[in-house]
Amino acid sequence: MPRILGIDPGSLVTGYGVVDFAGRDLKYVASGTIVTGGGAFPARLETIFRGVEVLVAEHVPDEFAIENVFVSRNADSALKLGQARAAAICASFGRDLPVHEYTPREIKQAVVGRGGAPKEQVQHMVRTLLGLREALPADASDALAVALCHAFGREARQRLALAERKR
């Protein structure tokens, strides 16, 4: 059963979610947040890097999925988010994991069926799909949504690759 580590990057709080996935079977493994706190930005990036590095070593995922940067009105925020993503991605390099990136719209579409779904609806669907009773921190729930998005598209990508090889 492939294990997927999903990351919702943030320069103050980075969410993570780990799921096992095979066919239609989903299994919740873990989720939580890496809280960097305030302080110097390079120190926050190191906290993200070290935190994801520990997660990769602890959970030994087969694949790594992360939310892509979306550019908002604040260019400085977008740059910081991009650097937080880079710190998380670089932490996966030691295990040679394939890295998959998804936009917020793709994630919402995969989990809810609507790319413009509100955050609360995504959180509800994550809990429903994984059979979780209690509410999760928003960043952890978002990271699980990233992992689920990858899991749902994974099967389709495998079928396409098989069809391409048969040609």
User: Residues 20, 53, 63, 67: which is the catalytic one?
Assistant: 67
- Continuous H helices in the chain: 41-59, 75-91, 104-112, 119-130, 138-166
Instruction: Using alpha carbons, list the distances in angstroms from residue 128 to 25, 28, 145.
Output: 13, 11, 11
Strand duo 63-67 + 99-102: pairing: parallel
User: Residues 8, 20, 63, 142: which is the catalytic one?
Assistant: 8
Active site residue 8: yes
User: Residues 20, 63, 139, 142: which is the catalytic one?
Assistant: 139
Catalytic positions, please?
8, 67, 139
